[in-house]
Structure 1
Amino acid sequence: MRIATLLLLLPLLLPACSARDSAVAEDGRERLVGLRADDLRLCAGVPNLTAQSAGGEFWTYDRTPPAAGVSAPVPVIGGSLSVSAGSTCRVTFQLVDGKVTRIGYSAASDLPMSQNSACAPVVQGCLRLVDQERVSRE
């Protein structure tokens, strides 16, 4: 009976993790402003796309993480429980004079309250380096 209860509660865990990742992405939107271009390349990698305009330089990162999912038999129900969530993200950093000035997210998620959750991996490494004071925002 405990396993059945656990499996029934499992669908609640995926949205909680996604909400946490969405909060990380939002935190990055504020805390990475001022990051130098070299530090951004160090922690986020080489962008998928770059563009220049009068407003500055734009670096874009596209991410499609693998869908999270669980499939397990539930004898009480007599079938199987399958929960999955798919999401995609595009993060665009605007750089002026070699420093991040703005960050924009264009994301889609199948889970409620997790709009930018797929964007978290792009900014997580940078946030970690900022927290460890290995890079600085100017």
Structure 2
Amino acid sequence: MPRPLPALLLLVAACAARDASIANDAQLRLIGLRADDLRLCSGVPDRRETSDGGEFWTYVRTPPSSGLSLPVPVAGGAVSLSSSSNCYVTFQVVQGHVTRIGYSAASEFGLARDSACAPVVQGCLRMLDQGMIQRD
């Protein structure tokens, strides 16, 4: 009899690891991106702060929770799998260009901690790859 639960857990973990990789990749590849291009690919930031170090644009993402409940015949109950996380992505913008990107995320996938941040930067990476935006 096939065991769908381990396969499902593996699939969820693989997706989280992929998204964490996207978020980590963005921390290098989006440095030098123009502020206008950042607004184009990630939208208008939820918060903006200014200090001596430049501007700090923060995007807050709280994706909807998702869950799956599978019956476990042996125990006579159900096993519940859920994914819930949030992310704060902060871009430091100096002289109109991204100089640093920081993540503050909470996730149930310990090793893929920044996976919830991928949606904020994913569009920027795609547009960069397609040559629609560029770094200076």
Query: TM-score, normalized by length of structure 2?
Result: 0.93
Aligned to 2:67: 69
The runs of 5 or more residues in structure 2 that have no matched partner are none
2: distance between equivalents of 1:43 and 1:32?
11
Q: Distance in 1 between matches of 2:9 and 2:134?
A: 39
Matched residue, 2:77: 79
**1:4-50 deviation line (CA, Å, top 9, x unaligned):** x1234212221221111111000011000011111100110010000
Identity of aligned residues (%): 60
Amino acid at match of 1:129: M
Aligned length: 136
**CA–CA distance in 2 between the matches of 1:115 and 1:133?**
29
Does structure 2 conserve the Cα–Cα contact (< 8 Å) formed by 1:7 and 1:74? no
The CA distance in 2 between the partners of 1:39 and 1:133, in whole Å, is 12
One-letter identity of the residue aligned with 2:130: Q
Task: Measure the CA separation in 2 of the matches of 1:12 and 1:112.
Answer: 14
Opposite residue 107 of structure 1, the aligned amino acid is: A
Give unpaired runs (5+ residues) of structure 1.
none
SS of the residue corresponding to residue 41 of structure 2 reads helix
8 Å Cα contact 1:21-1:120 kept in structure 2: yes
- RMSD (Å) for aligned C-alpha atoms: 1.3
What do residues 76-103 of structure 1 show as CA deviations (whole Å, max 9, x unaligned)?
5533221112211100000111010100
Q: TM-score, normalised by structure 1?
A: 0.92
